[in-house]
Amino acid sequence: MKNRIFLAPPQRHRQTPARVTPAALLLTVLGLCTAQAQAQSLADMVQAARSHDSTFLGAQRALEAGQARGDQARALLLPQVNLAVAASHTQADYTTPALKYPFDTQTATVSAAQPLYRPQNTASAAQGEKQTALAQAQYVAAAQDIVVRVSQAYFDVLAAQDTLEFLHRQKAAVAQQRDAARRNFELGNANVTEQRDAQASYDLVVAQEIAAENDLHIKHIALGLLTGLPQPQVHPLRSDATLPEDSADRGDIAAWLASASTRNPSVTQARIGREIAEWETRKAEAGHRPTLDLVGSYTLANNDGGTLTTTQSSRGSVAQIGVQFNLPLYAGNAIRNRVRETVALEEKARNDLEGAERAVALGVQSAYYGLASGRAQVQALETATSSSQSALDASSLGYQVGARTNTDVLNAQSQLFGTQARLARARYDVLTGWLRLRQAAGTLDDADLERVNSLLLP
């Protein structure tokens, strides 16, 4: 039977005030309702970030530009049609024989050209399709990245809240020990050292509490900047929440590496970049090849008052159709040097692809073993929390019977609350690690986000 890792932080015990006035109760209820109304789930935060985060919005615009770039490249294979209209006034003046007359000329020409054989245009069209695919891969990478970034910021807030809560509880416990040490000193049952140790422990917790409050404030600001929400409030994890675990999470890492080699957006971008470089080489080599176009034109001409050779007005039309062949003979070695350049860039693109595959493989292994380590750490910290609680109970009992000192109790309290804080942080790290593994493999989608989001209180 597999061990189940519970992800919710330990239950928080609060002291109930001795007296609660109706006005205070009403304010409390209103405050809780307001906080609940403002709080948003992880999925809501991701959706808000998709309409606010500049990196993700930039990827959307880049996708639109890539699609337009592909359409531009495909246009090179389509007919090109032009319309030219001209009008002129001419004053003719001849001395032999003496002749002087003005005339006007108007022409309108429609011309068209259909490429029949243009290897450069064919390569450019193929490049355009690859550039569209590249923009799509970049968008997928941005879409997966924003899920992980928002999740990380979301759980950072939850972890900071838990740390502050544990410090509040530790502060109250240390204050009780400080007061007890003070009373025992006044009664002569303890020395001044225990009283000063207790006061020093209390002062240290107060300092840690101030730092934790500031850290929580910074984490809220970071989440707000990412999502565009002025005062983001998060939902805590359910008390019975367990991380959804797939068989692949504990399976062979080779399956994750195989998925990453074909689906990771970084590898996809590098692979498309290599293909674009290959087409660029073909386009450069096509500079030596001839081109063949089907061309045609239709011209209407109106000569009002004659022309330079006659004084008679005329009107007519000319239609032409044919093929146009062009063969480059010499371009000052520009084509040859361009080929050398593109071949070098093609080799660079291959090296970039190899580097991307290695980096992604390392990322997958890091995420895979990090997730396994995180699960083991959660289990170890759960055991350590139970042991720390037993140690605190034993120290408290020993202090009551005089077998332990106040310092022993303070140390046990500090160890317990510190372990609880690390346990809460480790649970959130497991959640983000679960998402990061799927991001590294290139399979992260909204369904994975919903699985994590379902662990939050509604």
Q: Residue 84 is part of a domain; what is its CATH number?
A: 2.20.200.10
Count: domains in the chain: 2
**End-to-end C-alpha distance for the chain, whole angstroms:** 30
Q: Are residues 406 and 297 in the same domain?
A: no
Which of 99-108, 141-150, 276-285, 350-359 has the least mean pLDDT? 99-108
Confidence bin at 248 (pLDDT 50/70/90): low
Q: Are residues 165 and 243 in the same domain?
A: yes
Structure tokens, 93 = 């003046």
Q: Are residues 179 and 230 in the same domain?
A: yes
Q: Are residues 202 and 348 in the same domain?
A: yes
Residue 439 belongs to a domain: yes
Residue 112's alpha-carbon distances to 68, 79, 294, 325, 365, in angstroms, are 24, 7, 8, 15, 58
Domain boundary (309, 327, 345) is at: 327
Task: Provide the domain limits for residue 302.
Answer: 80-117+290-327
Q: What is the pLDDT of residue 321?
A: 95
Q: Are residues 229 and 365 in the same domain?
A: yes
| For residues 396-405, average pLDDT | 78
Confidence bin at 191 (pLDDT 50/70/90): confident
Confidence bin at 7 (pLDDT 50/70/90): very low
Residue 425 belongs to a domain: yes
Q: Are residues 251 and 373 in the same domain?
A: yes
For 116-150, write each residue's pLDDT tens digit.
999 999 999 999 999 999 999 999 999 999 999 99
Q: Are residues 174 and 279 in the same domain?
A: yes
Cβ(377)–Cβ(284) below 8 Å? no
Q: Are residues 71 and 106 in the same domain?
A: no
Residue 447 belongs to a domain: yes
Q: What is the pLDDT of residue 244?
A: 63
Which SS3 state, helix, strand or coil, does residue 101 take? strand
Residue 309 belongs to a domain: yes
Cα–Cα distance measured from residue 256 to residue 294, given in angstroms and rounded to the nearest whole number:
53
Tell me the whole-structure pTM to 2 decimals. 0.80
Q: Are residues 364 and 398 in the same domain?
A: yes
Q: Which of the pair, 30 or 111, is modelled with greater confidence?
A: 111
Q: Are residues 240 and 351 in the same domain?
A: yes
For 295-349, write each residue's pLDDT tens digit.
999 999 998 877 777 777 888 899 999 999 999 888 888 889 999 999 999 999 9
